[in-house]
Amino acid sequence: MGERIVRHHDLEVYQKAMTAAMTVFEASKSFPKEETYALTDQLRRSSRSVCANLAEAWRKRRYAKAFVSRLSDAEAEAAESQTWVEFASRCGYLERSKAVDLYLQYDEILRMVVSMIHQPNDWLLPQAERYLREESPLYEANIPF
């Protein structure tokens, strides 16, 4: 936590999760049509859900239990993504080397999320700033795409 983190986009774990989700999206384009509403959909949904849950956790930093709950959801979705990656590899839809790389990316994401879960106070808004920091008129939208 060296640089100041203002938005969920600034979190290294979010950036890694977004990269992994986009890798999943690109890789899954070549999955068989019969897997469209099964493996392809499940893998894409879980990988995207990691990012979404991290964003929600970030916005829940006022409340420790809500913050940790969303991080736990992100953790579960990352583990689910690993499972779907394994299925994709075992079914022959994803090269083993690509599957291993994705699996390891999610291992790193999991380590980072679990670290946040174990030390939530490092991430929560301080009492004095809880209702002022992000609702301040000084808060400017910075669209990341």
The pLDDT tens digits of the residues spanning 120-141 come to 999 999 864 444 455 544 456 6
pTM summary value: 0.86
Domain ranges of the chain: 8-125
Torsion of CA 103, 105, 108, 112, to 10 degrees: -120
> pLDDT tens for residues 49-104?
999 999 999 999 999 999 999 999 999 999 999 999 999 999 999 999 999 999 99
**CA-CA distance, 27 to 75, in Å (whole number)?**
22
pLDDT for residue 137: 47
Cα separation, 122 vs 18, in Å, equals 23
Instruction: Determine whether domain 8-125 maps to CATH 1.20.1440.60.
Output: yes
5 pLDDT band, cuts 50/70/90, is confident
